[in-house]
Structure 1
Amino acid sequence: MKTVDCKCPLTMSLNVIGGKWKPLIIYNLEKSNMRFGQLDDAIMGISRKVLTAQLNELVNDKLILRTAFAETPPRVEYSLTDKGRELIPILRSIAKWGSYLVE
């Protein structure tokens, strides 16, 4: 996450969840925990490099949790934190508003 010298709550919020991919990642994790490859398959058009960067930012912002399992081969799952789950109704409202734009 970029450092923002502004104390505006809207600016801070958009800095954390803004962009093309973060809302889609959060939305996909609503239903269940997912592995990297599952997220990569579910989000059309995202590169693996960008997905990695966006996941790391969401983990750092404590919106998603990265769980690594000590297995061979290694397995990592991503899930929403409580803080991340709080965004779901907001994203649904934005999606509802967006449906008016595409009609």
Structure 2
Amino acid sequence: MDISIIKEVFSIIISAAEVLGRHDDTIIKRVIESQSKLPPTKVARDGSIMEWAEDFQDPDEHHRHVSHLFGLFPGHTINLEKTPDLCKAVDYSLIKRGLFQEL
């Protein structure tokens, strides 16, 4: 979740800089450089969004927190237009947690 929050903040900073015409500021360049170093959101072997840096079998896959889905909501870095594969993995993550049913 921490990486997802950082991605959201960086995305907002970059968008604001573009609106304000400040995309050449040193701090914005540092944000863009740092953003490129963040690890990507990944899909686990089972088709869900990876919650941790390593892909492992969760011993309690029915616990209810979904903080690893922050990029979809309340965030915006996971969306149907730009990351449909991650949206599918979010769907499976919710099914796996028993919070959503397959149609």
TM-score, scaled relative to structure 2: 0.29
Higher relative contact order (CA 8 A, sep 6+): 2
Task: From the CA coordinates, give the structure whose radius of gyration is larger.
Answer: 2
Instruction: Judging by fraction of residues, say which structure has more helix.
Output: 1
